[in-house]
């Protein structure tokens, strides 16, 4: 099955407390979501945009007293110190059987937070269908070989979470045949040649980034 650039079946949106999106695509997901789960202080940004969260999840340390009172029936406090607020929100969705998730607002402020949030979606793929949308493109996790929708000239990057995974790329400007991606940068700045491309892998976890039009 070909993996589309974005998928309307992702009905639950998690808004993280990074930079609020500006691009039309992530904003359209917020506007069309059947439910929006905010990570702690992200609720304030969503309210400024004119939307209300269905739930606010996290340790709630970034949430003002006023918002705690306003949304007291929508709060889910998780004080676990072993996970960040994004993971708490994903866990909350899975517990409620919302397994198709789009994450927005997970990047754009501190670079360490951005890298951490992006890398986490490879773990979320073990129990949810997840994608992470930024103002520049879409990240999806890969646990097995995948066939991807694309367009000629689309910028594509593949990141190997398990350095010993063996990859083959087809349909990209810089193909790969049965090789590892031992460092993150070596799979970046590729380019789609047409309407689709293939990423074959023997095992492990990877992330695929595709630029938006």
What's domain 143-211's superfamily in CATH? Thiamin pyrophosphokinase, thiamin-binding domain (2.60.120.320)
- Give CATH 3.40.50.10240 domain extents, the chain: 2-136
**What is the distance of C-alpha 55 from the center of its chain?**
19
Determine the pLDDT at residue 50.
Answer: 94
The tens-digit pLDDT sequence of the chain (213 residues) is 677 777 766 689 999 999 999 999 999 999 999 899 999 889 999 999 999 999 999 888 877 878 888 888 888 887 878 889 999 999 999 999 999 999 999 998 889 889 999 999 999 999 999 999 999 999 999 999 999 999 999 999 999 999 999 999 999 999 999 999 988 899 999 999 999 999 999 999 999 999 988
Would you say 104 and 16 are in contact if contact means Cβ atoms under 8 Å apart? yes
Determine the pLDDT at residue 54.
Answer: 94
| pTM confidence score | 0.93
How many angstroms separate the CA atoms of 33 and 43, rounded? 15
Determine the pLDDT at residue 1.
Answer: 63
Determine the pLDDT at residue 109.
Answer: 84
Determine the pLDDT at residue 179.
Answer: 95
DSSP the chain: -EE-SS-TT--EEEE-SSSPP-SHHHHHHHHH-SEEEEETTHHHHHHHHT---SEEEE--TTS-HHHHHHTTTSEEE---TTS-HHHHHHHHHHHTT--EEEEES-SSS-HHHHHHHHHHHHHHTTTSEEEEE-SSEEEEEESS-EEEE--TT-EEEEEESSTT-EEEEESBSS-EEEEE--SGGGG-SEEB-SSEEEEEESSS-EEEEEE--
Phi and psi at residue 209, in whole multiples of 5°?
A: -110, 130
CATH code of the domain occupying 2-136: 3.40.50.10240
- Give CATH 2.60.120.320 domain extents, the chain: 143-211
């Amino acid at each position: 099955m070909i993996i589309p650039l974005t998928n309307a079946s992702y009905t639950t949106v998690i808004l993280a407390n990074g930079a609020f999106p500006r691009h039309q695509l992530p904003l359209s997901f917020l506007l069309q979501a059947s439910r929006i789960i905010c990570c702690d202080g992200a609720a304030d940004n969503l309210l400024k945009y004119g939307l209300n969260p269905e739930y606010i999840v996290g340790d709630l340390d970034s949430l003002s007293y006023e918002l705690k009172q306003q949304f007291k029936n929508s709060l889910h406090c998780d004080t676990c110190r072993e996970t960040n607020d994004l993971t708490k929100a994903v866990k909350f969705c899975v517990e409620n059987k919302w397994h198709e998730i789009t994450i927005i607002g997970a990047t754009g402020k501190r670079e360490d937070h951005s890298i951490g949030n992006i890398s986490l979606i490879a773990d979320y793929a073990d129990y949810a269908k997840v994608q992470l949308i930024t103002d520049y493109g879409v990240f999806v996790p890969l646990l097995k070989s995948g066939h991807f929708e694309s367009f000629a000239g689309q910028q594509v990057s593949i990141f190997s979470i398990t350095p010993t995974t063996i990859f083959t790329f087809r349909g990209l400007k810089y193909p790969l045949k049965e090789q590892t991606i031992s460092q993150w940068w070596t799979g970046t700045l590729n380019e789609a040649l047409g309407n689709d491309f293939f990423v074959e892998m023997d095992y492990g976890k990877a992330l695929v980034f595709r630029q938006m039009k």
